Amino acid sequence: MKFFIDSADVEEIKSLVPTGFVDGVTTNPTLIAQSGRRFEEVIAEICALVPGPVSAEVAALDLEGMLREGRYLAKIASNVTIKVPLTIAGLKACRTLTDEGTLVNVTLCFSAAQALLAAKAGATFISPFIGRLDDVGEIGMNLIHQIVDIYKNYPNLTTQVLAASIRSPLHVIESALAGADVATLPPKTLRQLYQHPLTDKGIDIFLADWKKTGQSIG
């Protein structure tokens, strides 16, 4: 499974890149707003830090506007992935941009039917929102299972399942078990993946025992 960082905080992303866990980055208008910086500058800096896909979302809702903004953003760097909403205009834009050789992430997916259409439109990634489905009383992980199963039935569909709106390490593990290709997660959640109280306790015990030996290494 690939890990994308869901953030527009350049310094945060920079701190995580050396771990080797960062395969890409996703941003959205909310994250850009939180950064308080100019959109294009943020995307350019992230693309320079991360060689993998970096999602930049269009703001337009009409087809012409999406194509204009998508083509503009795609010029920032070769690894920019244009993010479009799962609407009929978004799917049309996806088809056109994909045919032009641009990576496309179709976002705000809440049903398997939508995911099937996105794949037929040539999406590079489909982003089902697990947490937001959980918020309204549905089981978001069921959608990941459905999409993965459907895509497996049709080898000609190359769209990757990008599990989004991840709220916890459990969401990551369940997405991996379901066969999602990518999980995009906040920096906090990525760090939670390697934290465990028994690991900390084990280190304390080993250090205490080592101290008793009076030895040093090197």
Residue among 27, 11, 21, 76 at smallest CA distance from 47 = 76
Q: What pairs with residue 129 in β-bridges? A: 164
Work out the pLDDT band at 122, boundaries 50, 70, 90. Answer: very high
Res 120: pLDDT: 98
Whether 112 and 178 have beta carbons less than 8 Å apart is answered as: no
Within a domain: residue 91?
yes
Within a domain: residue 31?
yes
Within a domain: residue 197?
no
How far apart CA 163 and CA 133 sit, in angstroms, is 12
CATH number of the structural domain spanning residue 143? 3.20.20.70
Within a domain: residue 92?
yes
DSSP 141-199: HHHHHHHHHHHHH-TT--PEEEEBS--SHHHHHHHHHHT-SEEEE-HHHHHHHH--HHH
Whether 8 and 31 have beta carbons less than 8 Å apart is answered as: yes
Res 98: pLDDT: 98
Whether 164 and 147 have beta carbons less than 8 Å apart is answered as: no
Residue among 28, 51, 6, 7 at smallest CA distance from 162 = 6
DSSP 41-71: HHHHHHHHH-SS-EEEE----SHHHHHHHHH
Which domain, by its residues, includes 59?
2-190
Within a domain: residue 215?
no
Q: Count Cα atoms within 13 angstroms, Cβ side, for 54.
A: 25
Whether 184 and 6 have beta carbons less than 8 Å apart is answered as: yes
Within a domain: residue 216?
no
Res 154: pLDDT: 97
Domain count within the chain = 1
Within a domain: residue 50?
yes
Give 11-24 pLDDT, tens digit per residue: 999 999 999 999 99
How far apart CA 4 and CA 52 sit, in angstroms, is 9
Within a domain: residue 198?
no
* 132-147 CB burial, b ≥16 within 10 A, e <16: ebeeeeeebbebbbbb
> What percent of the chain shows pLDDT beyond 70?
100
Q: Which residues are catalytic?
A: 83
Give 150-182 pLDDT, tens digit per residue: 999 999 999 999 999 999 999 999 999 999 999
Work out the pLDDT band at 76, boundaries 50, 70, 90. Answer: very high
Res 73: pLDDT: 97
Q: Which residues contact 50 (CB under 8 A, 6 or more apart)?
A: 5, 13, 17, 22, 24, 25, 79
Distance of CA 176 to the CA centre of its chain: 13
